[in-house]
Amino acid sequence: MRAPENSILLVYSGGLDSTVLLYQLLEQKYEVRAISFFYGQKHEKELTIAQKNCQNLGVPHETLNIPLHEYFASTLLQGGGEIPEGHYEAENMKQTVVPMRNLIFASIAAGYAASHGIKKIALAVHAGDHAIYPDCRPEFFTALNQTLALADWNEVQTETPFLHFTKEEIVRIGLALGVPFATTWTCYKGGEKPCGKCGSCTERAEAFQKNGADDPLEKM
Amino acid sequence: MRAPENSILLVYSGGLDSTVLLYQLLEQKYEVRAISFFYGQKHEKELTIAQKNCQNLGVPHETLNIPLHEYFASTLLQGGGEIPEGHYEAENMKQTVVPMRNLIFASIAAGYAASHGIKKIALAVHAGDHAIYPDCRPEFFTALNQTLALADWNEVQTETPFLHFTKEEIVRIGLALGVPFATTWTCYKGGEKPCGKCGSCTERAEAFQKNGADDPLEKM
């Protein structure tokens, strides 16, 4: 299968970071296609949001069903216990690690891309994740790209433009691009409204504060 | 979670190569745990065989459901068109490539291993596959191990003892270990009996011939 040269496949969670990246890729005139993963995350709500956002933007989107929660242990997954509260820096946030998650997502995305003749996959990993998630670090992506170059006759490479950015910088980019932040989901818990207490909610709130901006999601 | 130091997780298809590897790992006194993937392969039959073999040997086994056929194109997958016949060397066998398959399997296996406190994953890739499947080559596994070392706080590495062996050599090892070859499935098609014509069947028949041995599967 062939795709236009400027095609890119976005691994899209429906969260703040990947929504900002989606808007940035469209602004950069990429032909964007998006996939989301249902992997047993408690915050399934993000999948509905991902689908809706893509539909509104006319971006082809598919949700892939990879039921990791049936086989892996993590508090982030259904059946995996309580999600810890507080800052990401805290040691207990490591309980939310889903082992090899980005490697698994990037591998499947790369296979999906190769299958559709797309040569680039975009992931919205950022610097704020490095301390907790080993597969968000720059050295991981360097090694992964070397592996991907050898894994298939159709070479696929990752694009991670936010790799060295903080959440604050991503919110700033999103504000400049006019991203409707009310349509992005961040909370790790599965409630109707964001809990405001998990590491993910805490980090988001701080990023808006530092930009002197209001988070429209809080008013929903 | 903690596992004994000599634990190893085998990616087990129920085919000839991984069955010989299963017997070799048990002979080497590894504490073996096995997983198989249902990824939409036409030759689903191998999964029942994998489960049965593990049960007979007292090896814990689980089948992971990763429905790649819903998203990827390959003649090996359900809905992917006719499987070509003839030798592996032929260009048309490349139609059976499932893009990034070993990378995807190894990534999920590594996450599963990390989740169970296991530090090694074994894969039965061999030299006969190199020409067709890029993710069976030694340089791919070198890069993959570097990536795995960076992907999780719990380091997992691959073990690929057959990487430089031909099918003929694997059959020879299996014969020496007394592997009951009648309980291994090779054919890429989903029939009751092996088709005898696909690349996989052709390679298997030649490997037995070169060892001057009979393939018990043919008599079933």
Closest CA to B140 of B123, B119, B115: B123
ipTM of the complex: 0.86
pLDDT digits (tens, 9 = 90+) for A199-212: 788 889 999 999 99
**What mean pLDDT is predicted for residues A44-62?**
93
**Is residue B1 a part of any domain in this protein?**
no
- To test the contact with chain B by mutation, choose from A98, A108, A155 the residue with the greatest count of B C-beta atoms within 10 A, namely A108
**Is residue B2 a part of any domain in this protein?**
no
User: How high is the pLDDT of residue A103?
Assistant: 94
Angle at CA B88, nearest 5°, toward B85 and B89? 120
Structure tokens at A168: 């604050």
**Is residue B113 a part of any domain in this protein?**
yes
Chain A CB within 8 Å of residue B91 CB: no
Distance from CA of A120 to the nearest CA of B (A): 14
**Is residue A40 a part of any domain in this protein?**
yes
- pLDDT at residue B138 tops 90: yes
Q: How far is CA B41 from CA A80, B185, B193, B208, B211, in A?
A: 30, 13, 16, 25, 29
**Is residue A168 a part of any domain in this protein?**
yes
- To test the contact with chain A by mutation, choose from B9, B33, B61, B115 the residue with the greatest count of A C-beta atoms within 10 A, namely B115
User: How high is the pLDDT of residue B93?
Assistant: 53
Beta bridge partners of B63: B36
pLDDT digits (tens, 9 = 90+) for A124-180: 999 877 667 888 899 999 999 999 999 988 889 999 999 999 999 999 999 999 999
Note whether B217 and B67 are within 8 A (CB).
no
A128 HSE (CA, 13 A, CB side): 20
Chain B CB within 8 Å of residue A108 CB: yes
CB contact under 8 A, B135 and A112: no
**Is residue A2 a part of any domain in this protein?**
no
CATH number at residue A139: 3.40.50.620
Chain A CB within 8 Å of residue B155 CB: no
Contacting residues of B for A77, CB less than 8 Å apart: none
Q: To the nearest whole percent, how much of chain A has pLDDT over 90?
A: 55
Of B104, B108, B143, which is closest to A150 when you measure between CB atoms? B143
Is-above-0.80 flag for pTM? yes
Confidence class of residue A73 from pLDDT cuts 50, 70 and 90? low
- pLDDT at residue B61 tops 90: yes
Structure tokens at B186: 């090779």
Question: Cβ atoms within 10 A of the Cβ of A37, count?
Answer: 21
Note whether B124 and B20 are within 8 A (CB).
yes
Distance from CA of A21 to the nearest CA of B (A): 23
Chain B CB within 8 Å of residue A114 CB: yes
**Is residue B54 a part of any domain in this protein?**
yes
**What mean pLDDT is predicted for residues B84-107?**
71
Closest CA to A19 of A177, A140, A197: A177
pLDDT digits (tens, 9 = 90+) for B7-39: 999 999 999 999 999 999 999 999 999 999 998
By mean pLDDT, which of A36-50, A89-103, A182-196 is the weakest? Answer: A89-103
Q: Is A81 left (phi over 0), alpha (psi -120 to 50) or beta?
A: left
User: How high is the pLDDT of residue A24?
Assistant: 98
**What mean pLDDT is predicted for residues B167-190?**
89
Residue A16: domain span: 7-219
Q: What are phi and psi of B185, to 5 degrees?
A: -115, 135
Window 159-218 of A: residues touching B by CB (8 A cutoff) are: none
**What mean pLDDT is predicted for residues B54-75?**
87
Chain B CB within 8 Å of residue A101 CB: yes
Counting the structural domains of chain A, the total is 1
Distance from CA of B93 to the nearest CA of A (A): 13
CB contact under 8 A, A152 and B146: no
CB contact under 8 A, A99 and B108: no
**Is residue A1 a part of any domain in this protein?**
no
Window 10-49 of B: residues touching A by CB (8 A cutoff) are: 35
